[in-house]
Amino acid sequence: MKSTKLIQLSLFLILAGFGWSCKDKEDTEPVIDPSSNTAINGWILDVMDEVYYWLNNLGTPIAADSDPEDYYDALLYKAADRFSVIYPDYQELINNLNGITLEAGYEFQLYLESQNSQNVIAEISYVKKGSPAEAAGLVRGDIITKINGTQLTTENYRDILGQIESQHTITYLSLNPESQVYEEQEPLTLNTVQLSENPNYVDTVYTIEGQKIGYFMYNFFAPGPGGNSTEYDNQTDEIFAKFKAANIDHLIIDFRYNGGGYVSSATNLASLIAPSVTSTDIFSKTKYNNLLMSEIPELSNVKTAFKVKTQNLGNILEGNRVYVLTSGRTASASELVINGLKPYMDVFIIGDVTYGKNVGSIPFEDEENPDNPYGILPIVSQSFNSLDQSDYSNGFTPNITKKESSERLRPLGDVNELLLRTAISQITGIPSSGRFEVLDRKDIGSTLDLKVRSGKMIENNIIK
């Protein structure tokens, strides 16, 4: 039998030499073109038939020569699985999970222009460092009305969004800081580049009403920009070392745009926050399908322990509490951190109900067949905390509900920004004295929803 030797689950699996094997072929069987849909679909079925979490509910395969995306979709357990994906290029899939994409470097939220209008506007959520968008002067809160000269509407915006993957021109409005009026700007042409986004987006220490407050915005979970790099995790450690040196009293973690990523980085972040944890304290537990857990003893009782980190802040946080800012796009590995910290401390959530994803994925490639470019990212596991709790499939309900869409966007890290000022008021006990216009807007989507990593919890390192 030929071993594909595809994947090793990182940190908490001991799977040396374990792999998924192709079925034996009789010498009399016809030779299948390795680049054909039949060959690709055969590989898909072999993998899904062993690792899929809802194995007992695996769908009936359609014709073997079907389009691979249709074939994969037919296998999914639609009643529970809204997460498994197939990607036409495995390496692009891995790049996307590590924050490497071809883009201009900005994300935006889509709203109806008014309650009775079919026009759609795009409000920039954040601009990425070192990107063409940053170089062009775009900032959070700028409002895009047209892309390549076409007004966004409820009928066309899905098609037009695809145009930002290559050079494109935007028509947009910027807020005049003096008049506080949005003014139309000259159309702006943006190039796209292969951008490595750093998830460590904002870190600041504030001293307010005698309280030292550390604020950290973290936008996805990845240890580094690819390969075996731990560059991003190392930077996270440095940020927490700075917080510790400043002797902060309170910590605010901003997950509002964090749709998930690698469990290894989630474990690293949680290990910087939970108080007095050792390498024997359990961060999370993982369960697989019955076939895997019965045939592979190492998978029957998988536990991920916290790391011992000298930069850990847990013991200096007042009230044994961490504040977490969320939105409806806070998902997967972000929720894993929330769930994993709950047995150890008070996790105080401010924002919107989170996405609700307590299951994890592994990316697979067909290493035996270089003519098969596809990558698949099926759900293979469910996660629990040290108390065996996993009851967040409908998301975590915040202690204080606030929706970012209810106000015009202020710069991230601005103490008057809605979610941050709410957390600061909760910490100091002093409500904000500012007056802020309340908006009634209908959220109809975001570029963040299109990210491969959105709603993903990735539980592996790739063996090459």
Per-residue pLDDT band at 46 (split at 50, 70, 90): very high
- CATH number of the domain at 115, please: 2.30.42.10
Question: Is there a single domain that holds both residue 185 and residue 265?
Answer: no
Confidence check: pLDDT of 203 > 90: yes
pLDDT in tens, 79-124: 999 899 999 999 988 888 888 889 999 999 999 988 888 999 999 9
The rounded distance, in Å, linking the Cα atoms of 240 and 255 is 16
Q: Are residues 85 and 133 in the same domain?
A: no
Residue 177 contacts residue 214 (beta carbons within 8 Å): no
Categorize the per-residue pLDDT at 11 as very low, low, confident or very high, splitting at 50, 70 and 90.
Answer: very low
Distance between CA 447 and CA 85 in Å, rounded? Answer: 17
> Domain check: are 127 and 51 in the same one?
no
Number of domains in the chain: 3
**24 in the same domain as 79:** yes
Cα 39 to its chain centre, rounded Å, is 32
Alpha-carbon span 375 to 6, nearest angstrom: 11
In a domain, 65, yes or no: yes
Q: pTM here?
A: 0.89
User: Are both 308 and 429 inside the same structural domain?
Assistant: yes
Among 150, 174, 195, give the residue marking a domain's end. Answer: 195
- Say if residues 319 and 247 touch (Cβ distance below 8 Å): no
Do 146 and 171 meet the contact criterion of CB atoms below 8 Å apart? Answer: yes
Is residue 208 predicted with pLDDT exceeding 80? yes
Q: Give pLDDT, residue 96.
A: 82
Residue 440 belongs to a domain: no
Residue whose C-alpha is closest to residue 357's, from 461, 283, 454:
454
What is each CA distance from 151 to 74, 121, 156, in whole angstroms? 36, 9, 9
Instruction: Please give the pLDDT value at position 338.
Output: 98
When the pLDDT of each residue in the chain is averaged and rounded to a whole number, the result is 90
Q: Is residue 373 part of a domain?
A: no
Is the same domain home to 152 and 244? Answer: no
Domain that holds residue 151: 101-195
With a cut of 50, say whether residue 59 has pLDDT above it. yes
Within-domain flag for 441: no
**What digits encode the pLDDT tens for the residues 307-342?**
999 999 999 999 999 999 999 999 999 999 999 999
44's torsion region: left (phi>0), alpha (psi -120 to 50) or beta? alpha
Last residue of a domain, one of 78, 97, 116: 97
What is the Cα gyration radius of the chain?
23
Q: Is residue 282 part of a domain?
A: yes
Q: What is the pLDDT of residue 455?
A: 54
Q: What is the pLDDT of residues 124-144, one digit of tens each?
A: 999 999 999 999 999 999 999
Contacts of 454 (CB under 8 A, 6+ apart): 259, 260, 329, 331, 448
CATH number at residue 332: 3.90.226.10
Q: In whole angstroms, how far apart are CA 97 and each of 5, 69, 118, 361?
A: 21, 19, 34, 12
User: Does 149 lie in the same domain as 221?
Assistant: no
Ranges of beta strands (E only) in 114-265 are: 120-127, 143-147, 150-151, 168-175, 182-184, 188-190, 193-196, 200-208, 211-218, 250-254, 260-262
Cα–Cα distance for residue pair 66/352, rounded to 1 Å = 41
Q: How far apart are CA 336 and CA 259, in angstroms?
A: 11
**What span, in angstroms and rounded, lies between the C-alpha atoms of 119 and 111?**
9
- Domain membership of residue 449 (yes or no) is no
E strand or H helix at 231: helix 231-245
Does 206 map to a domain? yes
Shared domain for 16 and 165, answered yes or no, is no
Residue 365 lies in a domain: no
Residue holding tokens 């490639």?
365
187 touches 147 (CB < 8 A): no
Instruction: Identify each DSSP E strand in 179-221 by its residue range.
Output: 182-184, 188-190, 193-196, 200-208, 211-218
Torsions phi, psi for 185 (to 5 deg): -105, 165
Give me the DSSP letters along 59-122. Answer: PPP--TTS-HHHHHHHHS-TTT-S--EEES-HHHHHHHHTTEEEE-SEEEEEEESSTT--BEEE
Tell me the HSE value of 456 on the side-chain side, using a 13 A CA sphere.
32
Q: What is the DSSP letter of 411?
A: P
pLDDT class of 27 with cuts at 50, 70, 90: low
Same domain, 223 and 334: yes
Given 65, 97, 129, the domain boundary residue is 97
Judge if 261 and 409 occupy the same domain.
Answer: yes
Residue 448 sits at φ, ψ, to 5 deg, of -65, -30
Same domain, 184 and 236: no
Asked if residue 112 and residue 11 are part of one domain, the reply reads no
Q: How would you label 313-331 residue by residue, b for 16+ Cβ within 10 Å and e otherwise?
A: bbeebeeeebbbbbbbbbb
Instruction: Give the three-class secondary structure for 376.
Output: strand
Q: By C-alpha distance, which of 172, 173, 246 is closest to 203?
A: 246
pLDDT at 97: 81
